[in-house]
Structures are given as structure tokens and as C-alpha cells.
Amino acid sequence: MLPRLAQTLAQKIIARAAGRDSVRVGELIVAKVDLAMMHDSGGPRRVAAMLAEIGASVWDRNKVVVVTDHFVPAVDVDSARILKLTRDWVRINQVDRFHDMQGICHVVMTENGHVRPGMFAVGGDSHSPTAGAFGAFMFGVGATEMAGVLATGEIWIKVPETQLIRWQGKLGHALSAKDMILATLKRLKLNTLKYGVAQYCGEAVTALSMSDRMVLTNMAAELGAQTGLIEPDATTFAALKNADVDMQYAPEFHGDPDATFLATWDFDANKLVPQVAAPHSPDNVDDVDRFQNVTIDQAYIGACTGAKLNDLHMAAEVLKGRKVARNIRLLIAPASTRMTAAAAADGTLATLTAAGAILLPSGCGACAGYGAGILAEDEVCISSTARNFKGRMGAASSHVYLGSPYTVAASAVTGRITDPREFIHVFHHAQAVA
């Protein structure tokens, strides 16, 4: 009898998808896909012609999710044409899981209970690892691979190595998962994981909300990882229940305690200070005080990694009773329409707009260089988004800095990149005195 092969969480998920008891790192595996997600930019307009050319139809319409989020709302005829093509394709192929102009795909997926622990899924977007916050193995694929998945329901995968990113300690005031992942990128740099798995653990990770956990797994893409993972726990299952997921089909998936990891990276949340990524790379990171003399033209709170409800709450905590600096634009594009409604109901939007923030539609927007909020030549922006590559948010001569929603909001008030603890410390001190 062969000895038992200890498995990481990633290996267990891939093994289940392949109908195997176990898999070995480096094996080439054909796995069955539990879910395929596409959006309007890389979805039907790319794959429809491929499927037609080979005479293939969608293998299982109940396992396909389509979201419009890049070209919404349409700002020109080309955008409108792309959206119409997407809607027509969904109707013709009878895809019921269609979310039209409801928000950014990675957020809408989780809000609507499409993601569960143990899933093996693909997405037509590089930030598809977001679903790993729920213990699902989800990774981005191109249009050709997506067409193959849609036709067959399968995809090949080389079983990846897993590296542990362990955050111990406790985050201080005005710090968030965005600071954690920027600090991780500062140390590990872009593409260090080389299509491996970034598995996050430690007491600081366990203490995070699901929304903040999604920031870590989302930006596993910036580490070069194929996906990011966090093992499911009570927080995960509470979020699944809130999304009306049938818990009968949400089993607990955990790696074996004696599984082998390629490397373990240890970080101390107790020592973390707000982090900022300078142009033109998410790993060009340093402490916020290194940038205190950088003046800005625009502050942007948006995208899948920086405009969920808790991100809006962070910004509101800084902006309450304050005003955006003169000649500074603070643009806010909530990650979903559902989150916009929740922020309106709890007074967050009133706080933000009273401070001078301009509310934009939910969608990918300026993060990917679409719609309102793109930058002119030589303009400087601080953003809660995931990427700041040259020209991504507008003119090639513009400069984009990345920070947490706390840091973006604080910078909007002063007109320069600012340590948000200056504001939150005063807020908490005032509460204590009261």
C-alpha cells in the first residue's frame, strides 16, 4: 500500500476536480470546471466567434456566470455595441446567471453566492483569484482557454506549488488588508510566486473581514500567483450564509497539517504602518511618510480591491466632518450597486458626498482606463485600486500611487499623500474623551 500523500488546500481542490484522491506538485491534470465567469470585456465578444467556428455550444449554462462591468454605462457607440453583444449572447445561450450593470464581477460573484469552498473555477479576468478568500481555487484564463472550457467543461492545469504568507499580530488603527498586501509586495516583488499559490494565514488574516480577505487573494495576481487562497473558517461560512448559499453544498476544505510548502513568509502586523506604492508598479512600495511631499490632483476610491462597503466605511471615517481640499477631485465608484444601496442606507454616502466626494457608477471604470475618472497628462492620482502601471488610468505621463481607502481619503483632505493615522487618531481620541 502506498503511503498517504499529504495535500495542501490547492492540491485537495484540484484532486477533487480531477476525480482523484491526491495529486502531486508538477503533475499535468485535466480537471472539471465547477464555474466559469466572464465579463463584457473579455467574454462573449471574444469567445462567441471561436465557439461558432468549431460548432460548439456551452457545456452547462448553469455553471456559467456573465457580468457586465467594464463598459458600463456605455459612453459611446462602441461600448453600447459590446454590451448589446453580451446581452444577446446570454439570451441566446440561456445563461440565467447574468448580472448586468450590477457591479464588478469579482464582487458580484460573491454577493450572489456563486462561490463556495472547494470550487475549481476559472474567470476571464486576471483578478479572478479574489474567490480564493472563500477557499475556492479560481484563476484567470484568456479567451482561447475560456472557449475551450465553455465547449468541454474541462481545462488542464499543472499542479502548483503553494507558498504560505503568514501575518501574525494585530493591525493598528487606520490600517487594512491593502497595507498588508502592499507590504507583502514590497518584500516579495512582482511575479515572485511564478504561477504558484499564495496561501494567506496567521492571526492577522483570521481577524480580517471577508471583504478585506478578498483584497489579499485579489492581489495574489500581482505576486504572479495563479491563485490566492485562505482556508475557510467561521467568518467564511457566515458570509456564505449571508449570501444565501445552500450550506449543504459548501463543505469545509482544509489542507493537511503536514502538507509541504515551497516557502513560508512571515510578517508582523504589529509593526505595520500605512503603505503606498509609487509609480509605476504595485511593488514599488514604501512607508507613507516617504511620500508626504507628493501633491495630488485626484483621489480615486474604486475597483474590485478598493471600493467594497467596508472600504467606503474606511473613507467615511476619515472624511466625517471634513472637506476635500480645494482643487482636488475625490471620485468614488462603489464596487456594486448593492453596496451603493447599503452605503446610502447607513449614511455612508451622505458623509462622503458632504465632504465633496463625487459618486460614480459601479464598474471597473478608471481602474482599467474606462469611463469617468481617467487622468490627463502629468496628473497625479492616489488610488485604492490594485495596479498603477504606466498609462493604465489615463495618459502615459500621469502618475498613480496606490494606498488603502484610509490613505486615499486622508490625501484628498490635505491635497498631498498623507498618513491617515493623523485623522483616525484624532477621531478615536475624541471618542475616548466623550
For the beta carbon of residue 122, count every other beta carbon within 10 angstroms: 25
For residues 245 and 306, membership in a common domain is answered with: no
Judge whether 339 lies within some domain: yes
pLDDT attached to residue 150: 98
Judge whether 2 lies within some domain: no
**Among residues 266, 284, 319, which one ends one of the domains?**
266
Side-chain half-sphere CA neighbours of 26 within 13 A? 1
Judge whether 3 lies within some domain: no
For residues 182 and 321, membership in a common domain is answered with: no
Question: Which residues have a Cβ under 8 Å from the Cβ of 103 and sit 6 or more positions away?
Answer: 67, 69, 111, 334, 335, 336, 337, 338, 339, 362, 363
For residues 216 and 131, membership in a common domain is answered with: yes
pLDDT attached to residue 244: 85
For residues 304 and 231, membership in a common domain is answered with: no
pLDDT attached to residue 242: 87
The domain in which residue 133 lies consists of 9-266
Judge whether 1 lies within some domain: no
pLDDT attached to residue 251: 66
For the beta carbon of residue 78, count every other beta carbon within 10 angstroms: 10
Residues of the chain with pLDDT under 50: 1-2, 427-434
pLDDT attached to residue 431: 42
Question: Which residues have a Cβ under 8 Å from the Cβ of 10 and sit 6 or more positions away?
Answer: 137, 159, 160, 162, 197, 199, 227, 229, 255
Question: In this structure, are residues 315 and 300 in contact, taking their beta carbons and an 8 Å threshold?
Answer: no
**Among residues 266, 301, 317, which one ends one of the domains?**
266
**Among residues 201, 232, 266, which one ends one of the domains?**
266
**Residue pLDDT, tens place only, 250-302:** 667 899 999 999 999 999 999 999 999 999 999 999 999 999 999 999 999 99
- Number of domains the chain is built from: 2
For residues 227 and 300, membership in a common domain is answered with: no
**Residue pLDDT, tens place only, 112-144:** 999 999 999 999 999 999 999 999 999 999 999
Q: Please name which of 383, 378, 414, 415 lies closest in space to residue 399, comparing C-alpha atoms.
A: 378
Q: What is the CATH number of the domain that holds 89?
A: 3.30.499.10
For residues 203 and 299, membership in a common domain is answered with: no
Angle at 175 between CA 171 and CA 179, to 5 degrees: 100
For residues 31 and 131, membership in a common domain is answered with: yes
